[in-house]
Amino acid sequence: MEQHADGPDAAHRRPTGVTDETVAALGKLSEALETVERARGRLYDLHQLIGHADLMLDEAVALFQAAGHHDLAEEITTELLGRNVIAGRWTFQIVEDFDDGYYALFRQLDRRARDELVGGRRHLYEAQMKESRRTRGRPGHEARPGFDG
C-alpha cells in the first residue's frame, strides 16, 4: 500500500468499503478488551498481594510465638497460612483459569473480528480520531513517526 502524504500509515487506514459502523463496533470491542486488560492487571495484583501477605504470616507467627501467644500462633498456622482464597484455589489457579478461559476467548474473538473485517488492522477508530483532532503542519501533530509533512 502506498503512504498518503500526510495521514496515517497503511496499517492504520480504513480498508476500502469498511463502514463507519464497522469501525465503531471494532473500536468498542477494542475498548472492552482494554478494560479486561486492566482487570487482568488487577487480578495479578491480587495474586501477588495475597502471596506476599501469606509469606508475611510466617513473621507474624514467629512474633506471636516469641511473645508467648502459642495458641494464636498455632491457629494462624493451621487455619490461615496457606489457605485457599476461594473454594479449592490459590490465586495462581484463579489467574490461570482466567487467562486460559475468559481472557483467551476475548482476545481470540477480538483478533477474529479484526482479521475478518479489516485485514487485522488495529486501532482504526483511534487513528481516525487522531486524524480529525490533530493540526496538520504543527510540531507535535505529525501523522506518524518520522513524517515531517
pLDDT for 108 beyond 80: yes
What is the tens place of the pLDDT at every residue in 31-56? Answer: 999 999 999 999 999 999 999 999 99
Residue spans of the domains in the chain: they are: 19-133
For residue 89, list its beta bridge partners.
Answer: 86
Categorize the per-residue pLDDT at 1 as very low, low, confident or very high, splitting at 50, 70 and 90.
very low
Angle 79-82-86 from CA coordinates, rounded to 5°? 85
Q: What pLDDT was estimated at residue 10?
A: 85
Query: Which three cell numbers, joined as nine digits, stand for 72?
Result: 494464636
Q: How far apart are CA 32 and CA 143, in angstroms?
A: 26
What is the tens place of the pLDDT at every residue in 85-104? Answer: 999 999 999 999 999 999 99
What's the whole-model pTM score? Answer: 0.83
The CA–CA distances, whole Å, from 25 to 32, 35, 113, 119 equal 11, 15, 10, 15
The CA–CA distances, whole Å, from 98 to 47, 105, 147 equal 12, 10, 41
